[in-house]
Structure 1
Amino acid sequence: MAQLNRPPVRKKKLGSYPHTMVVFSITLALLVIGLFGLLLIHAHKLSNVVKENIEMQVYLERDLPDAQLLRLQQDFSAKKYIAFKNSQPQVRFLSKEEGARQFIDQTGEDFKQFLGDNPLRDAYLLKINPDFSDTTNLRRIEADLRATSGVHEVQYVQSLITSINQNVRKLSLVLLGFAVILTFVVVVLINNTIRLALFSQRFLIRSMQLVGATSLFIQRPFLRRATLQGLVSGTLAALLLLALLQYAYLEVEELRLLRDERLIGVLLLGLLALGAGIGFLSSYRAVSKYLRMSLDDLY
């Protein structure tokens, strides 16, 4: 009697599809590539921030009239290599009096007391557009500014900028190489996950084929399911990525300065497209393979 009252044990159906395992595996793979994508975005933004702070000091001839000073500011502001912030050209006039005050504040020494005069010159401080921050363009900019009437000298920290450009170039190549390798690994991982999941469906595919179903009819439900799983995985990965990003911003407030909403949005949409695309293609290849296999090869 005890055996008769025992509840039936639910057995796993032969050929059942491991939905949770597939979604979990694809989500983790997409999350890894998303984290690396965030690293690339923030590194790119940091590079731009450094380049946006490249500044040239244009020292002027002495005793220039106000009209010429105004004309010089207008000419500098119209240059295509000048950086803009909030639609305003980043051109600032620094008078020799203000320069003297800054020097005294920084050093604590009043050089005018023993020199009897202010030897500094009026200057314009120009911030350079990041697109023109390479060494070749900076030299051309320097030559262009030197040729301007009323300009005495042009200065910028050439060695520092050259070092920054070289380091940024090396870092970009290294990160790009890692991105290519990581993308390849993730694609292979997702492809193998779906192929292993479809391995349990090979007899179902053959059964449908034996009763006369066309290849398109057999493939359609598998392709639809794999694409949907890719979208779900991409959505989960995007949500996890946003949660981790917000946590990082709470812990390190300065990271918000490197946030790029447009590129982050492109990354999240890319995760959705990558999940759906790889799911569709991997499922198509796997089902096509089982459709072409002989019955003996299925065992």
Structure 2
Amino acid sequence: MKIRIIYYLEEAFSSFRHNWVMSFAAILVVLISVLLVGSFIMIGHVVEQIASDIEEKVEIDVYLKDKAPKEDLYSLERKVKAIKDVDSVEFISKKEALEIFKKRNKNNKDLISNIPGNPLPASYRIFLKDPQKIENVATKIKEFSENETTVEEIKYGREFVRKIFAVTRWIRIIMFVLIVFLIFASLALISNTIRLAIYARRKEIAIMRLVGASNWFIRWPYLLEGTLQGLTGAALAIGILASVKYVLQGKLEDQLSWLMTALKVSPIFYQNLLLMLLTAGIVIGAAGSLIALRRYLKT
């Protein structure tokens, strides 16, 4: 068994060296395929991070009447906190609301100087566990505040929120479809490339079958060769992706700090991506070899 494994490995490496043109073509196909898949996964992850950041900033503002009794305000706060999808409730007093307004408009001194007293209402700022449930939570707050003397207005930008969720949902779907398409396209390309290499050696395969070699005895060297090609192409693609990411982070850190925040994710993500791309390269190379061999090993 040990001798046979050594034979398979020697045959695979020998074929890899002697058919370097076709090996180079196969490696190039895997490199481009893994590079595209990896790029789309990284872009998709950045888009997902940005979309999640936007979704997390979605909030409900409940503006309160100036003369609302404190007991009623406490009662309203308890009811809001009791809603299962509510994560936290922040009370903003009239004074705090005015300070926030002035801070946001600090460059517009005319506007600030012409404010008569403090026309801004106190409010509750409500953050959710799941931003997708914002309409349900807003509806519940409206329901139990209809007959109360505390709530002046409830705002959460319904149309804007709907558009944000629709856009992020479609982005996720499109990225998923593109990645799946690229994986299948890669498999087709590599199998066709390997098929050309095997076609050039079809007589050798036919002779091996005539002398009684089993299908798997013939398959193993090609399978290992395809695996080696896939591994090499994937490793080169990972090196290119890592280099591009490093350069982008260095050049765009000041100009696009928000994007850099999305790129600076947990190292675990990149470790998982590295393992996934290496595995994808190996699987594409091995599967491409098996698919290409089917024609010549039909019983």
SS at match of 2:18: coil
Is the Cα–Cα contact under 8 Å of residues 38 and 264 in structure 1 kept in the other structure?
no
Is the Cα–Cα contact under 8 Å of residues 33 and 186 in structure 1 kept in the other structure?
no
Is the Cα–Cα contact under 8 Å of residues 100 and 120 in structure 1 kept in the other structure?
yes
Q: Distance in 2 between matches of 1:239 and 1:151?
A: 60
Corresponding residue of 1:109:
113
Corresponding residue of 2:297:
291
2:26 corresponds to 1:27: no
Distance 1:82 1:191, change over 3 A: farther
Is the Cα–Cα contact under 8 Å of residues 31 and 241 in structure 1 kept in the other structure?
yes
Corresponding residue of 2:208:
208
The structural deviation recorded for 1:245 is 1.4
Is the Cα–Cα contact under 8 Å of residues 91 and 123 in structure 2 kept in the other structure?
yes
The gaps in structure 1 that reach 5 residues or longer are: 1-12, 84-88, 294-299
Identity among equivalent pairs (%): 26
Question: Which has a greater percent of helix?
Answer: 2
Q: 1:60 aligns with which of 34, 58, 64?
A: 64
The structural deviation recorded for 1:32 is 1.7
Is the Cα–Cα contact under 8 Å of residues 64 and 121 in structure 2 kept in the other structure?
yes
The gaps in structure 2 that reach 5 residues or longer are: 1-14, 106-110
Distance 1:203 1:151, change over 3 A: farther
Q: Distance in 1 between matches of 2:114 and 2:100?
A: 11
Q: Which amino acid aligns with 1:243?
A: S
RMSD, matched Cα: 3.0
Mapping of residues 125-274 of structure 1, within 5 Å: 125-129=125-129, 131-133=130-132, 137-146=133-142, 147=144, 151-152=150-151, 153-253=153-253, 254=257, 255-259=259-263, 260-261=265-266, 262-274=268-280
Is the Cα–Cα contact under 8 Å of residues 30 and 233 in structure 2 kept in the other structure?
yes
Q: Distance in 1 between matches of 2:189 and 2:72?
A: 68
Is the Cα–Cα contact under 8 Å of residues 57 and 155 in structure 1 kept in the other structure?
yes
Distance 1:150 1:258, change over 3 A: farther
The structural deviation recorded for 1:76 is 4.8
The structural deviation recorded for 1:274 is 1.8
The number of aligned residues is 265
TM-score by length of 1: 0.75
Distance 1:122 1:33, change over 3 A: same
SS at match of 2:124: strand
SS at match of 1:108: helix
Distance 1:66 1:95, change over 3 A: farther
Is the Cα–Cα contact under 8 Å of residues 192 and 292 in structure 2 kept in the other structure?
no
The structural deviation recorded for 1:79 is 4.6
TM-score by length of 2: 0.75
Corresponding residue of 1:6:
none
Q: Which amino acid aligns with 1:98?
A: E
